[in-house]
């Protein structure tokens, strides 16, 4: 059966230009680089002397330009520039690189005495204009302005620069409201900053204060602030929900749903997860009533009970789509550690544990949980510090403090269930632990884990004085092709186009209707490509990277250009002699110019010219052109059918080339 011309061309081009590419699965990690407090054995980390001792938290700015880390033992907030292509971090120079409670040898930090004593957590406003840090030993919440161009921080001046649990000049005094403050969160709408603290004198009693935030300046106000507490606070400011949540701020986390309508708080010492409604105008939190207001590991007030699944919850997180809430529990060494997965009602914010094995991961056999222990570690030592979901919702990453391990999961975007990636892709360990990938001396007592807003990187921090560091992992994401500009060009090719999309850096090929173009420049969001020759019509544009492919159907249109010359190539005729094969074509042109003809065939997977012919003509007309091949080609034809590509082009002075591509199959010569 004779194939259509376009099909023949596509098949031949694919044979000539396609290259198999091994793709990494979405969400797979590769260790990339690291910043450390001192030299790390076995690693070539960039050393930022003295400022990264016991990393408690890392956050990436919404624009992806910067990373910020806090270190409890060096009492510092560290400011990095971030390479938006590789994710690599670079400490800002001089005083802009760190803020510290006292002078640090080896660094010229900006000293803000008494305000960053054992910092615990930080948060960045959604508009990127402010950074907020809380320090448990100084009982302070410190406010910084952020330059959205450079990422540099400046502490707000005077009383706007900090809130303090005691009289501490020049801070705004907020007596008995920030005692041992351990967590800080900014609402997605940027209206409210929440601080989680202990109640002074109330053993195990905690409180959450909502501070209104000026959306223009980022300044926090105590006027109009509200709070909820698990016991009566000294100043009687808070709404009290006795016994429902008992916590220590050092192991508490508050997350606000992406729609801003709910907040969720883990309460370690009451073994419960607390569910609040949030006033989207004032930011005030109200405990949901009855069983909707809390989920507990054992009977507790009116809480819903999920018996034995959630001992000592240490953290809570929410997926970017707001569909799921994740709680990691097991704060005591004798307990089996768990991650509990809840579905979230988009209307009410209430939670329901997923059923069966989808609803629970455990470090050993527990109820119907899925057991997650890839390197057969002691079950009670998992000690997960948080679960982070990638912005695309396709993956989750969990840091194990005691296993010294980072775990990588695939996530169902339908149910929110997590599946550990297989083999070495599923876990990274501080020391050799089969089957995990070894990241020597980087994950000891790993604590924070965060995914960059662009989804390209995962960052971890070591929360121990041995080899404290921030490690950078590259995250595999398939490319996406969104548009081609310009979207049309001539059949002669040679048009420079820009393909826009995501994750395009590292592209190995860009094809137009199956024919490879020439890539001349790449960025994560664009490729500059010179289009190949192709017959007229709309074609698919396909980009291939090491992480996969993406195709834009009908993404580019080839058209015969409106020029002074037109090539009409009849099917070549073939004549044999004892020493040659002659291909003869009749070409009609409507202007003076040069006729070029190249006849080629595939030899050992490469396209090789069999013969070439150039003919210059002085006027419009019909001209024969003969291209002659040597004896070797004729002998090949004798042995069986052979396919040739016949490329005829015409160049008129001052115009683009007009081309025609044909395929010719010669039967065996008898």
Q: Are residues 550 and 635 in the same domain?
A: no
Q: Are residues 224 and 133 in the same domain?
A: yes
Between CA 517 and CA 513 the distance in angstroms is 10
Q: How many residues does the chain have?
A: 670
Q: Tell me the CA distances in angstroms from 184 to 210, 402, 625, one per residue in order.
A: 10, 24, 79
Q: Are residues 197 and 159 in the same domain?
A: yes
Between CA 487 and CA 497 the distance in angstroms is 8
Q: Tell whether 588 is covered by a domain.
A: yes
Q: Are residues 226 and 118 in the same domain?
A: yes
* Whole-number pLDDT of residue 463: 79
Residue in the structure block whose two tokens are 């019509």:
537
Single out the residue in 237, 259, 281 at which a domain terminates: 259
Between CA 340 and CA 327 the distance in angstroms is 5
Q: Are residues 203 and 237 in the same domain?
A: yes
* Whole-number pLDDT of residue 487: 97
Q: Are residues 552 and 596 in the same domain?
A: no
Single out the residue in 234, 259, 284 at which a domain terminates: 259
Q: Are residues 127 and 239 in the same domain?
A: yes
Q: Which domain holds residue 614?
A: 568-666
For 414: left if phi > 0, alpha if psi spans -120 to 50, otherwise beta; the answer is: alpha
* Whole-number pLDDT of residue 2: 36
Single out the residue in 219, 240, 259 at which a domain terminates: 259
Among the listed residues 574, 572, 670, 581, the one whose alpha carbon sits nearest the alpha carbon of residue 634:
581
Report CA Rg, the chain.
Answer: 33
Between CA 113 and CA 363 the distance in angstroms is 43
Q: pLDDT for 330-355, tens place per residue? A: 877 778 999 999 999 999 999 999 99
Q: Tell whether 250 is covered by a domain.
A: yes
Q: Tell whether 323 is covered by a domain.
A: no
Burial of 19 (0-12, 13-18, 19+ CB in 10 A): exposed
Q: Tell me the CA distances in angstroms from 479 to 19, 45, 492, 524, 551, one per residue in order.
A: 17, 29, 28, 9, 9
Question: Do 469 and 37 touch, CB atoms closer than 8 A?
Answer: yes
- Number of domains the chain is built from: 3
Q: Tell whether 587 is covered by a domain.
A: yes
* Whole-number pLDDT of residue 4: 40
Among the listed residues 164, 352, 187, the one whose alpha carbon sits nearest the alpha carbon of residue 280:
187
Q: Are residues 614 and 520 in the same domain?
A: no
Question: Do 49 and 60 touch, CB atoms closer than 8 A?
Answer: no
- Look up the CATH number of the domain holding residue 619: 2.60.40.10
Q: Are residues 482 and 550 in the same domain?
A: yes
* Whole-number pLDDT of residue 477: 94
Which residues partner with 98 through β-bridges? 78
Q: Tell whether 73 is covered by a domain.
A: no
Burial of 570 (0-12, 13-18, 19+ CB in 10 A): middle
Q: Are residues 554 and 597 in the same domain?
A: no
Q: Tell whether 337 is covered by a domain.
A: no
Q: Tell me the CA distances in angstroms from 593 to 45, 561, 590, 626, 651, one per residue in order.
A: 62, 16, 9, 17, 5
Q: Tell whether 11 is covered by a domain.
A: no
Q: For 540-567, b where at least 16 C-beta lie within 10 A, e where not — what string?
A: ebbbbbebbbbebeebbebebbebbbbb
Residue in the structure block whose two tokens are 């109820």:
367
Q: What is the DSSP string of 569-627?
A: EPPPEEEE-SS-EEEEEEEEESSSEEEEEEEEEEETTEEEEEEEEEEEESSSEEEEEEE
Question: Do 207 and 254 touch, CB atoms closer than 8 A?
Answer: no
Q: Are residues 542 and 594 in the same domain?
A: no
Name the stretches of the chain with pLDDT < 50.
1-21
Q: Tell whether 173 is covered by a domain.
A: yes
Q: Are residues 543 and 580 in the same domain?
A: no
């Amino acid at each position: 059966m004779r194939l259509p011309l376009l099909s023949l061309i596509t098949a031949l081009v694919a044979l000539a230009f396609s290259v198999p590419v091994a793709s990494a699965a979405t969400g797979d990690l590769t260790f990339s680089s690291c910043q450390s407090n001192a030299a790390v054995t076995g690693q070539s980390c960039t050393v930022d002397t003295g400022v990264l001792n016991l990393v408690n938290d890392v956050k990436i700015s919404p624009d992806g330009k910067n990373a910020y880390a806090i270190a409890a033992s060096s009492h510092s907030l560290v400011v990095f520039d971030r390479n938006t292509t590789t994710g690599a971090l670079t400490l800002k120079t001089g005083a802009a690189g760190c803020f510290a409670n006292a002078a640090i040898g080896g660094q010229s930090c900006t000293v803000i005495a008494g305000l960053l004593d054992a910092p615990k957590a930080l948060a960045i406003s959604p508009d990127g204009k402010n950074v907020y840090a809380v320090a448990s030993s100084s009982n302070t919440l410190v406010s910084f302005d952020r330059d959205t161009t450079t990422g540099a921080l400046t502490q707000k001046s005077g009383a706007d620069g900090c809130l303090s649990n005691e009289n501490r000049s020049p801070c705004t005094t907020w007596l008995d409201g920030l005692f041992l403050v351990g967590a800080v969160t900014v609402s997605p709408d940027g209206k409210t900053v929440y601080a989680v603290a202990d109640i002074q004198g109330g053993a195990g009693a905690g409180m959450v204060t909502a501070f209104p935030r000026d959306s223009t300046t980022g300044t926090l106000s105590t006027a109009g602030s509200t709070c909820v507490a698990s016991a009566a606070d000294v100043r009687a400011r808070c709404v009290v929900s006795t016994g429902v949540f008992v916590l220590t701020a050092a192991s508490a986390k508050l997350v606000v749903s992406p729609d801003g309508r709910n907040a969720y708080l883990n309460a370690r010492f009451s073994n419960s997860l607390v569910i609040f409604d949030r006033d989207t105008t004032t930011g005030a939190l109200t405990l949901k009533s009855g069983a909707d207001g809390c989920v507990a590991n054992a009977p507790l007030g009116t809480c819903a009970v999920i018996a034995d699944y959630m001992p000592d919850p240490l953290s809570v997180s929410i997926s970017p789509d707001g569909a799921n809430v994740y709680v990691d529990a097991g704060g005591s060494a004798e307990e089996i550690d768990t991650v509990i997965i809840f579905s979230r009602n988009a209307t009410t914010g209430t939670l329901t544990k997923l059923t069966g094995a989808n609803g629970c991961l455990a470090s050993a056999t527990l109820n119907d949980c899925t057991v997650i222990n890839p390197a057969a570690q002691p079950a009670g030592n998992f000690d997960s510090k948080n679960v982070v979901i990638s912005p695309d919702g396709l993956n989750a990453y969990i840091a194990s403090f005691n296993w010294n391990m980072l775990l990588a999961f695939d996530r169902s975007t339908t149910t929110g269930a997590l599946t550990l990636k297989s083999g070495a892709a599923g876990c990274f360990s501080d020391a050799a632990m089969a089957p995990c990938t070894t990241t020597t001396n980087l994950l000891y007592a790993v604590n924070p884990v965060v995914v960059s807003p662009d989804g390209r990187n995962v960052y971890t921090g070591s929360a121990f004085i041995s080899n404290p560091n921030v490690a950078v992992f590259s995250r595999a994401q398939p490319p996406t092709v969104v548009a081609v500009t310009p979207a049309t060009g001539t059949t002669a090719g040679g048009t420079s186009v820009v393909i826009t999309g995501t994750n395009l850096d590292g592209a190995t090929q860009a094809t137009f209707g199956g024919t490879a173009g020439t890539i001349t420049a790449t960025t994560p969001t664009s490729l500059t490509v010179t289009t190949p020759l192709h017959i007229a019509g709309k074609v698919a544009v396909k980009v291939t990277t090491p992480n996969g492919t993406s195709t834009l159907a009908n993404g580019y249109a080839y058209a015969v250009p409106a020029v002074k010359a037109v090539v009409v190539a009849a099917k070549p005729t073939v004549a044999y002699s004892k020493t040659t094969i002659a291909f003869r074509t009749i070409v009609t042109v409507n202007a003076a110019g040069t006729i070029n003809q190249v006849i080629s065939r595939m030899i050992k997977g490469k396209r090789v010219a069999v013969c070439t012919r150039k003919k210059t003509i002085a006027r419009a007309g019909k001209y024969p052109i003969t291209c002659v091949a040597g004896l070797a080609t004729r002998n090949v034809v004798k042995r069986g059918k052979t396919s040739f590509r016949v490329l005829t082009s015409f160049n008129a002075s001052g115009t683009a080339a007009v081309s025609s591509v044909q395929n010719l199959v010669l039967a065996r010569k008898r």
